[in-house]
Structure 1
């Protein structure tokens, strides 16, 4: 009969070796399982440490989430400014959406932690600066900036949900398209006619179309009539 060895206890890191960067690295790894998985205990386990070691640096989970969001937002790929502010604004929006796509867990907490640190302010400053170049300032600029954020958060939430469903072989787009196609055409002729297109909701192509319409509206509100961007 083979000898059964006792389980090997996971060695904990000495308290002195726990750092803020190490905590955030572990928190990022944990967050790949979703925001609900991000707990102080889970991060401590990932580090091979104790939760109390984390509390020396972050008094609450909210403080940890703020620091992690600030780190993520610091990766916003700031586009180099060009001559066309409209094109720069579109590039800004795409870069922000890409950031959310790379970190889908962050979509939900960004709603409840809208200003987690200086990097969130830096992103807002960048957008306001682009809009100012087009003559859009004050409340009008804030409304335009919020419109871009709303589009990106909403679109990213759709895309994240679809991606998660696809991983378990339940593509919601296909299901929606099939359900719409099965509706009585006599009662919903316009909806049934776009069943195929509805199955592609959340696609990159649709995003570019929606973004183009939003940017065009912003451009027109600034009194610019050229077709660039």
Structure 2
């Protein structure tokens, strides 16, 4: 094992190797602990060697985002609704593998080339399905960050940064008996969902189910608007 690690350290330093090592490091320790110094240490080089391949940490983060976004399943032919659903769920699986990525994506002032290509292909799938440019525009707004596999309430930023955090405020947790008696409807929904011990939404909730439930509601509504020829331009 030590010999393999030493061989890897002697491998030529390339931009791709720098970015992929940074992804592994962020997966292991969280994005906030990532620095050029500890990345160089993992690669077995001096920090200055990294700057031949990335100009600064911002460029490093952009490259890391493009590496992980490339893991999202490519477009597949077929019904627009199923095609987009598959890709969004693939994006979610990518983010579950790389919990830091949603925070990194949101931190960019300009989307990276891979993110732009992914969004463009999503619009292309809508247009190929017969959507007007107008409707496709509003659909992309409605999907929001969910098109990239996350929504704010389902990806806790403290967890993305590699820390344990509290669950979202305002979600019913295990209610004391006297509170449950006073608010029976909240008590009912607190125990109605399947349980996910690592839930971000709150105890008793299944994050994956909640994500898919909201996604399907959006897609069903989008399909209805598409069938009725909806437009944002008011008439009359």
Shorter-chain TM range is: 0.7 to 0.9
Residue 160 to residue 222, structure 1, CA distance change in 2 (3 Å) = farther
Q: 2:210 aligns with which of 194, 206, 211?
A: 206
Q: 1:85 aligns with which of 80, 96, 104?
A: 80
Residue 224 to residue 69, structure 1, CA distance change in 2 (3 Å) = same
In the alignment, what sits opposite 2:59?
A: 63
Structure 2 stretches of 5 or more lacking a match?
Answer: 1-5, 194-201, 230-236
TM-score, with structure 2 as normaliser: 0.74
Correspondences of 1:24-35 after superposition (within 5 Å): 24-32=19-27, 33-35=29-31
The structure whose Rg is larger is 1
Residue 131 to residue 200, structure 1, CA distance change in 2 (3 Å) = farther
Structure 1 stretches of 5 or more lacking a match?
Answer: 1-9
In structure 2, C-alpha distance between the alignment counterparts of 1:171 and 1:58, rounded to whole Å: 35
In the alignment, what sits opposite 1:101?
A: 96
How many residue pairs match? The answer is 206
In structure 1, C-alpha distance between the alignment counterparts of 2:157 and 2:216, rounded to whole Å: 18
In the alignment, what sits opposite 2:220?
A: 216
In the alignment, what sits opposite 2:118?
A: 123
Report the alpha carbon displacement of residue 24 of structure 1 after superposing the two structures with TM.
1.3
Residue 15 (structure 2) pairs with residue 20 (structure 1): yes
In structure 2, C-alpha distance between the alignment counterparts of 1:76 and 1:94, rounded to whole Å: 9
TM-score, with structure 1 as normaliser: 0.76
In the alignment, what sits opposite 1:6?
A: none
Per-residue CA shift, 1:151-172, capped at 9, x if unaligned? 332265159949x78xx8x995
Q: Secondary structure at the match of 2:179?
A: coil
In structure 2, C-alpha distance between the alignment counterparts of 1:61 and 1:202, rounded to whole Å: 35
Q: 1:45 aligns with which of 30, 41, 44?
A: 41
In structure 2, C-alpha distance between the alignment counterparts of 1:178 and 1:93, rounded to whole Å: 29
In the alignment, what sits opposite 1:5?
A: none
Report the alpha carbon displacement of residue 48 of structure 1 after superposing the two structures with TM.
0.9
Residue 24 to residue 105, structure 1, CA distance change in 2 (3 Å) = same
Report the alpha carbon displacement of residue 27 of structure 1 after superposing the two structures with TM.
0.6
Q: Is residue 128–residue 137 contact of structure 1 (8 Å, CA) maintained in 2?
A: no
Q: Secondary structure at the match of 1:194?
A: helix
In the alignment, what sits opposite 2:155?
A: 157
Report the alpha carbon displacement of residue 213 of structure 1 after superposing the two structures with TM.
0.4
In structure 2, C-alpha distance between the alignment counterparts of 1:209 and 1:98, rounded to whole Å: 16
- The two structures, once aligned, show a CA RMSD in angstroms of 3.2
Could you tell which deviates more after superposition, 143-152 or 24-33?
A: 143-152
